[in-house]
């Protein structure tokens, strides 16, 4: 049994009887419980018995040749931001400990469950999803799959989601992405993370960070995995053929996205561009002035601070002491904005989206490093000043796509055994199916897998 197989391959193995759902679940549970592993920090809760029961039902139905979807029996982890019927949704915080259990699944969770995926557990995350680093003082911080002894950040906010997949504790993860929260942890853990267009997947039953920017997407092992999961989550079948790289027009933005790259990221990115060019893709390196406007829109915390403060202000009045101080500080920036400030940002963003869309319309996709640096050491980002600087840097590139209302996917492009580096491939708002097809063609030229 290949415990790091893709979702499509696992579906084939299940259908052929080469593996059972119970075997998959037991293997994931063993990895979660391994004393030398990251399970205790990656998961806030684990659904052992419900997962086993669901697996046994899947296996009996397959044995009896009863109708069953292709993904039935594949274990998947769920970010602690999503409602799961009968469970408390804590959003990686202690603030919501006394909340009643959810009475229904979030829409995205319900779609995964209906497709037969088995919910293995709820994954740890940055409190209320408000950081790209992945640190959590309440439940611990899972360590990136790379350089684990030294201890490097997992990326956030979907930190436990990514580590659960990287360590084989789940075969895919459901995450959210407001400024990079699927793509950053995917990049830091050698995985593939997809941020769909914000309105593509229904957000009912999900604790919000910034409803204007929030999107729901998967973290998994390949573009094929993300494509399969996106079809379930969005309800849209994918029939678009995968193009060849030859003739693809790829934009490399010279504004902001390439500033201050560390040597490893710069080298891996240049190697990737060289391979794509050799495969026949046309690479255009040009400025994108709209990206240069985004920092000013976020000067007072932007949409994220304003919209998160609107959600949290009542809880802050009662329970401020329970928040991670680093998260609380960022939420409170929303209190500094007036209604006029917020309207100004909304209007400016609408203009930004319109102008950026016109500029990018000449290209098939935009490509850039997902994160400008490799995963920093945990000890180097825990102090407030270092945390703030690292958070801004780690979020910088991925936020560009959220702000222009695009869709994007991060692919691993590092050599096996070296520090993980992600390549972002981004597309226009609503062009998710086309982007996934393009990403599949790019992946075929760039990604060398260890398994």
Domains identified in the chain and CATH numbers:
7-297+328-446 (3.90.1300.10)
**Which residues touch 219 (CB under 8 Å, ≥6 apart)?**
158, 161, 162, 165, 172, 173, 175, 182, 185, 186, 191, 192, 193, 194
> In the chain, which stretches have pLDDT less than 70?
1, 3, 448-451
> What region, left, alpha or beta, does residue 302 occupy, with left being phi > 0 and alpha being psi -120 to 50 degrees?
left
Provide the pLDDT for residue 2.
Answer: 73
Provide the pLDDT for residue 450.
Answer: 45
What is the secondary structure of 219-230 as a DSSP string?
EESSHHHHHHHH
Provide the pLDDT for residue 1.
Answer: 64
Does the reported pTM lie above 0.95? yes
The closest alpha carbon to 109, from 99, 100, 120, 101, belongs to 120
What is the secondary structure of 354-370 as a DSSP string?
HHHHHHHTTSSEEEEES
Omega of the bond prior to 157 within 30 degrees of 0, cis?
A: yes
Provide the pLDDT for residue 23.
Answer: 98
Provide the pLDDT for residue 451.
Answer: 35
| Cα–Cα distance for residue pair 391/386, rounded to 1 Å | 8
212-266: pLDDT as tens digits: 999 999 999 999 999 999 999 999 987 778 889 999 999 999 999 999 999 999 9
Average pLDDT, the chain: 96
Q: Is 49 within 8 Å of 29 (Cβ atoms)? A: no
**Which residues touch 161 (CB under 8 Å, ≥6 apart)?**
77, 79, 123, 125, 173, 174, 175, 182, 185, 219
Provide the pLDDT for residue 241.
Answer: 81
Provide the pLDDT for residue 242.
Answer: 81
Residues catalogued as catalytic: 79, 157, 181
């Amino acid at each position: 049994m290949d415990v790091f197989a893709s979702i499509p391959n696992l579906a084939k193995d299940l259908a052929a009887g080469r593996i059972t759902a119970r075997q998959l679940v037991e293997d994931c549970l063993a990895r979660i419980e391994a004393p030398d592993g990251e399970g205790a920090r990656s998961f806030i809760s684990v659904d052992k018995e419900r997962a086993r029961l669901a697996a046994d039902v899947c296996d009996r139905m397959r044995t009896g040749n009863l109708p069953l979807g292709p993904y039935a029996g594949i274990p998947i982890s769920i970010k602690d931001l999503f409602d799961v019927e009968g469970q408390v949704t804590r959003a990686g915080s202690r603030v919501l400990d006394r909340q009643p259990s959810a009475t229904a699944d979030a829409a995205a969770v319900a779609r995964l469950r209906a497709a037969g995926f088995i919910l293995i557990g709820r994954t740890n995350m940055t409190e209320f999803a408000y950081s790209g680093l992945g640190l959590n003082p309440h439940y611990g911080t899972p360590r990136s799959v790379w350089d684990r002894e030294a201890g490097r950040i997992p990326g956030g906010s979907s930190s436990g989601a990514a580590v659960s997949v990287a360590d084989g504790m789940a075969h895919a993860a459901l995450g959210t992405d407001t400024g990079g929260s699927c793509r950053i942890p995917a990049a830091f853990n050698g995985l593939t993370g997809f941020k769909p267009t914000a309105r593509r997947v229904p957000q009912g039953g999900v604790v919000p960070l910034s409803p204007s920017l929030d999107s729901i997407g998967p973290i998994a092992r390949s573009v094929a995995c993300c494509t399969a999961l996106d079809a379930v989550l969005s309800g849209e079948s994918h029939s678009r053929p995968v193009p060849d790289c030859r003739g693809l027009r790829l934009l490399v933005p010279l504004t902001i996205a390439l500033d201050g790259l560390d040597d490893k990221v710069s080298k891996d990115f240049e190697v990737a561009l060289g391979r794509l060019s050799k495969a026949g893709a046309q690479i255009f390196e040009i400025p994108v002035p709209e990206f240069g406007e985004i920092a000013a829109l976020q000067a007072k915390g932007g949409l994220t601070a304003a919209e998160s403060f609107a959600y949290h202000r009542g809880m802050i009045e009662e329970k401020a002491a329970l928040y991670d101080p680093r998260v609380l500080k960022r939420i409170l920036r929303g209190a500094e904005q007036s209604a006029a400030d917020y309207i100004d940002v909304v209007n400016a963003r609408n203009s930004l989206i319109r102008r950026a869309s016109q500029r990018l319309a000449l290209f098939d996709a935009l490509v850039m490093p997902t994160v400008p640096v490799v995963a920093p050491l945990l000890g180097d980002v825990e102090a407030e000043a270092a945390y703030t600087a690292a958070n801004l840097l780690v979020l910088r590139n991925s936020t560009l796509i959220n702000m222009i209302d695009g869709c994007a996917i991060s692919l691993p492009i590092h050599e096996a055994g070296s520090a993980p580096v992600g390549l972002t491939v981004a597309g226009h708002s609503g062009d998710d199916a086309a982007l996934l097809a393009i990403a599949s063609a790019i992946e075929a030229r760039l990604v060398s897998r260890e398994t």
